Amino acid sequence: MRHSPRILMIATSASTMGSSDEPTGIWLEELTTPYYAFQDGGAHVLLASIAGGPVPIDPRSVKPAGENDASVERYLADDDFRAKVSQTPAFDALDPNDFDAVFLPGGHGTMFDYPQNAALAGIVETMDRAGKFIAAVCHGPAGLVGARKADGTPFVADRRVAAFTDSEERAVGLDKAVPFLLESRLRELGARHESAPDFQPFAIRDGNLVTGQNPASAGITADLLMTTLKEGKTA
């Protein structure tokens, strides 16, 4: 890839878990770590969201200043990035042809507004058929479950995929709060789900698809995507 890669990050707009009052949103580290990895690596990054407007941040993903992951600490002191998070464009108003890759950060909010979004599935399909790159981390692969290959089969079928595991979901006590278990759904769609031990960093690449398992995997998922983009090929 001869030019600086252009990456579209699409965040959840779900601030509560379905019809409940339980707050959710994006898991901040899964946004900030890849964003800075892309930016520091010379990529052009555009942050959008499902509905546009402010991106809801899961309150469980932010601790008092000085107690967070380094990328979150950097974000808390970054007025420019914070302004972008507070006012995003709706992703479906953008042209996927303007980007080399799409990145789906996680957070439990994604489980409520990614899976049934036809426009999001459409962007995944458009990028895939153009030979471009799709990446997601943790619950971000929820945005892949509705996408299809050109032959109509699930996008993830027979592909190596990492995502938040069923055992991790049970460990955090939210297995009953989500509409489905992500690992199980990916397997049902024919994905070859792979994982490391719970909460350990893990990311894999299958052609033009890059996925990571959990928040701790955000950095290596971003690095793997950047390496893939620099190679400029899908295999």
Integer Cα distance of 106 and 27 in angstroms: 6
Q: Is residue 171 part of a domain?
A: yes
In a domain, 1, yes or no: no
Picking from 225, 216, 222, the residue whose alpha carbon sits closest to that of residue 197 is 216
Q: What is the pLDDT of residue 1?
A: 46
**Per the domain annotation, does 217 fall within a domain?**
yes
- Find the domain containing 135 and state its range: 6-231
**Count: domains in the chain:** 1
Q: Summarize pLDDT for 82-121 with one digit per residue, the tens.
A: 999 999 999 999 999 999 999 999 999 999 999 999 999 9
Residue 191 — very low, low, confident or very high, per pLDDT cuts 50/70/90?
very high
Q: Is residue 49 part of a domain?
A: yes
Which CATH number characterizes residue 203's domain?
3.40.50.880
Rounded distance between C-alpha atoms, residue 25 and residue 47, angstroms: 15
More confident residue, 103 or 233: 103
Is the pLDDT at 235 greater than 60? The verdict is: no
DSSP conformational letter for 55: P
Count Cβ atoms below 10 Å from residue 65 Cβ, excluding itself: 10
